[in-house]
Amino acid sequence: MADQPTNAMVQMIIEANESFDELIQKRHDDGAEKYGPFKFLGANTLEEAMQEVLDLANYARYTYIKLWMLNAQIAEEYGQPDPEDAKQFYSTTPDIQPAKPRFVGETQ
């Protein structure tokens, strides 16, 4: 992957962020309609979040298993990759550092 994102990549990131925003707003609106807009005030959101983290952990395990199986199939079909072949994908300019994260309202 290039050190700098392409215009197409930037557009995909923008679309993914917009999709995320739309989906969380829809889930919020659906929950407010189903349970009432202030149900969260009386709910133990920490307990609910802990339950969601357990679900997420299971999804991570299942995704790991699928990736492991895919990797095994690829290795069986094409053999193990040679690390020397992968060097062409690494940056040849080690002096480039990742951008420092900035916080909302912070200037350069």
pLDDT tens readout for residues 5-51? 788 889 999 999 999 999 999 999 999 999 999 998 999 999 999 99
* pLDDT mean over 89-93: 57
- Residue 99 in tokens: 């951008």
Of 97 and 50, the structure prediction assigns the larger pLDDT to: 50
pLDDT at residue 104, rounded to an integer: 67
Q: How far apart are CA 26 and CA 20, in angstroms?
A: 10
| Most distant pair of Cα atoms in the chain: their distance | 58
pLDDT at residue 84, rounded to an integer: 74
Whether the pLDDT of residue 97 is over 80: the answer is: no
Whether the pLDDT of residue 90 is over 80: the answer is: no
